[in-house]
Amino acid sequence: MNRKTALELGLKTYTSGTDCKHGHKSPERYTSTGSCVQRHREIYSPRGYQRAKQAKTARAVQTVVLSFATGSLLAVALLVLWRAAQ
Ligand SMILES: [Zn+2]
């Protein structure tokens, strides 16, 4: 069913039969906005919110670890250079 038909029938949600851009297989979509119901649930459910928050924290930790590793590598490289210069 397409969105136009759903609008004409006055349905709140419809299934378009096409995958949404977030990777959900032929999800239910809101007729009013055409956006994916599944996605909406993931964003606004407490669990989805928690997951999004966790993912954000994990990314932040990864960035810190990565910059620390890069920093150590730089320190080692400088030490090697300094030693070589002696
Ligand atoms: Zn979706």
User: What phi and psi, each to the nearest 5 degrees, are found at residue 4?
Assistant: -60, -45
Q: Which domain holds residue 18?
A: 1-44
- Separation of alpha carbons 37 and 48, rounded Å: 13
Ligand 1 midpoint to CA 7 (Å):
20
Number of domains, the chain:
1
Asked if residue 77 is part of any domain, the answer here is no
- Separation of alpha carbons 31 and 86, rounded Å: 73
Asked if residue 58 is part of any domain, the answer here is no
Ligand 1 midpoint to CA 30 (Å):
11
Ligand 1 midpoint to CA 40 (Å):
8
pTM over 0.85: no
Question: Do 60 and 53 contact (CB within 8 A), yes or no?
Answer: no
- CA dist 51 to 25, 54, 64, Å? 20, 5, 20
CA dihedral defined by 37, 40, 41, 44, rounded to 10 degrees? -160
pLDDT tens-digit map of 31-67: 999 999 988 887 788 777 788 788 889 999 999 999 9
Q: What token pair was written down for 56?
A: 């954000």
